[in-house]
C-alpha cells in the first residue's frame, strides 16, 4: 500500500502571503489529521477530518483552516503568514482509530 | 487538560545495551498507547501500539503498560546506533485525538 503523500515538500513564503498544503492519505483511510512541529513546541495538533467533516480542532488561530474532499485527500491553508508559522507541517492518516501514519511533511519557511 | 510527559533527554546508551524510555500520562481513562520514532529531519514513524496492561514484544522492542501507575515504557534491546532518534509517546482516550509527548532523544554510541 502506498503511504501518505504530502505536497509540496518544501516551501518558502514571505510574511502576509498565504499557503495551501496538500495531503493524500493511505488508501482506505478516512481520517486525516494535521500537525505543526517546531523545535520549541513539539508536535501540536491543528485539526482532524473524517469523511469530509472536521471532527476535532486544536488551539490555533483562524488563519489556519483545512478541508477534506470526498476522496479523503485533504488540504490545509494558512493565510496572512507570520514568521512564527515557519515549521514542519505533518499530515497523518488513520482509519479513524488511534494509530496515526505520518507523511513526510512540508517544511515551510516564512521570511 | 490531558498531559503526556517524557524526559527530553538525551538518553545516552552504549551499543548493545538496553535503552529504557518512559512516558507518564494524566488521563486515567486513556485506552490506547503508541510509540513513534522520529529521525532528525524526518516524520514520526509508528513502531508500537499497546492497549492492555503488561508487555508487548516486537523484535527488539518491548512496550510495557501499567494503567494503575499511569505509565508506559519502551525498551529497546541490543541498541544499535541506527536506533538514535527521538521517541514520541502518544496516548488516546475514547474518541479524543491522541495526545503526544514532546519526545525523548536517544543516542546510542558505538
Determine contact: A28 vs chain B, CB below 8 A: no
Compute the nearest-CA separation of A15 from chain B (Å): 24
What pLDDT band is residue B64 in, cutting at 50, 70 and 90? very high
d(CA A36, CA B79): 30
d(CA A108, CA A9): 8
In the prediction, which pLDDT does B79 show? 98
Angle in degrees, CA A29, B42, A55, rounded to 5: 35
- Beta-carbon contacts of A61 under 8 Å, excluding residues fewer than 6 positions away, are none
In the prediction, which pLDDT does B2 show? 79
Q: What is the bridge-based pairing of β-strands B104-109 and B11-14? A: parallel
Indicate yes or no: CB of A100 within 8 angstroms of CB of B90.
yes
Determine contact: A45 vs chain B, CB below 8 A: yes
Q: If you count residue pairs, one on A and one on B, with CB atoms under 8 Å apart, how many are there?
A: 43
Angle in degrees, CA B57, B60, B63, rounded to 5: 40
Tallying the residues shown for chain A, one arrives at 111
Cβ–Cβ < 8 Å for B103, B44 = no
In the prediction, which pLDDT does B68 show? 95
Give yes or no for a cis peptide into B10 (omega within 30° of 0): yes
Compute the nearest-CA separation of A97 from chain B (Å): 8
Tallying the residues shown for chain B, one arrives at 110
Task: Compute, in degrees rounded to 10, the torsion defined by CA atoms A7, A79, A83, A33.
Answer: -50
Q: Please compute the mean of the pLDDT values over residues B65-74 and round it to a whole number.
A: 96
In the prediction, which pLDDT does B34 show? 96
d(CA B13, CA B33): 24
In the prediction, which pLDDT does A106 show? 98
Segments of B32-79 assigned E as strands: 32-38, 45-50, 54-58, 61-66, 71-76
What pLDDT band is residue B59 in, cutting at 50, 70 and 90? very high
d(CA B38, CA B45): 6
Determine contact: B32 vs chain A, CB below 8 A: yes
Q: Grid coordinates representing B83?
A: 536506533
Give the number of other Cβ atoms within 10 Å of residue A65's Cβ: 17
In the prediction, which pLDDT does A42 show? 86
In the prediction, which pLDDT does A18 show? 98
Q: Grid coordinates representing B30?
A: 486513556
Q: What is the mean pLDDT of chain B?
A: 94
Tens of pLDDT along B10-31? 999 999 999 999 999 999 999 9
In the prediction, which pLDDT does B94 show? 79
Question: In chain A, whose CA is at the least distance from the CA of B42?
Answer: A104
Using a CB-CB cut-off of 8 Å, the residues of chain A touching B44 are 43, 90, 100, 102
Tens of pLDDT along A14-46? 999 999 999 999 999 999 999 999 987 889 999
Percent of chain A with pLDDT over 70: 98
Determine contact: A102 vs chain B, CB below 8 A: yes
Indicate yes or no: CB of A98 within 8 angstroms of CB of B96.
no
Decide if pLDDT at A74 tops 90.
yes
Give the number of other Cβ atoms within 10 Å of residue A101's Cβ: 19
Compute the nearest-CA separation of B88 from chain A (Å): 9
Decide if pLDDT at A4 tops 80.
yes
What pLDDT band is residue B91 in, cutting at 50, 70 and 90? very high
In this predicted structure, which of A33-37, A39-43, B33-37, B75-79 has the lowest mean pLDDT? A39-43
Q: Please compute the mean of the pLDDT values over residues B38-43 and round it to a whole number.
A: 95
Amino acid at each position: 500500500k502506498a503511504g501518505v503523500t504530502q505536497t509540496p515538500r518544501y516551501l518558502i513564503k514571505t510574511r502576509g502571503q498565504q499557503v495551501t498544503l496538500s495531503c493524500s492519505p493511505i488508501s482506505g483511510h478516512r481520517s486525516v489529521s494535521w500537525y505543526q512541529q517546531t523545535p520549541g513546541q513539539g508536535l501540536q495538533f491543528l485539526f482532524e477530518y473524517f469523511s469530509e467533516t472536521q471532527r476535532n480542532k486544536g488551539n490555533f488561530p483562524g488563519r489556519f483552516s483545512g478541508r477534506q474532499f470526498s476522496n479523503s485527500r485533504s488540504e490545509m491553508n494558512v493565510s496572512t503568514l507570520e514568521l512564527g508559522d515557519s515549521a514542519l507541517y505533518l499530515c497523518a492518516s488513520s482509519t479513524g482509530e488511534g494509530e496515526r501514519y505520518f507523511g513526510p511533511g512540508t517544511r515551510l519557511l516564512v521570511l | 487538560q490531558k498531559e503526556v510527559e517524557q524526559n527530553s533527554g538525551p538518553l545516552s546508551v552504549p551499543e548493545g545495551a538496553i535503552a529504557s524510555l518512559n512516558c507518564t500520562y494524566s488521563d486515567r481513562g486513556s485506552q490506547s498507547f503508541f510509540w513513534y520514532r522520529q529521525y532528525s529531519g524526518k516524520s514520526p514513524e509508528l513502531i508500537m501500539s499497546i492497549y492492555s496492561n503488561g508487555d508487548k514484544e516486537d523484535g527488539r522492542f518491548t512496550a510495557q503498560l501499567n494503567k494503575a501507575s499511569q505509565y508506559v515504557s519502551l525498551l529497546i534491546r541490543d541498541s544499535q546506533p541506527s536506533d538514535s532518534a527521538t521517541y514520541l509517546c502518544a496516548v488516546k482516550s475514547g474518541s479524543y485525538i491522541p495526545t503526544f509527548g514532546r519526545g525523548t532523544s536517544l543516542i546510542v554510541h558505538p
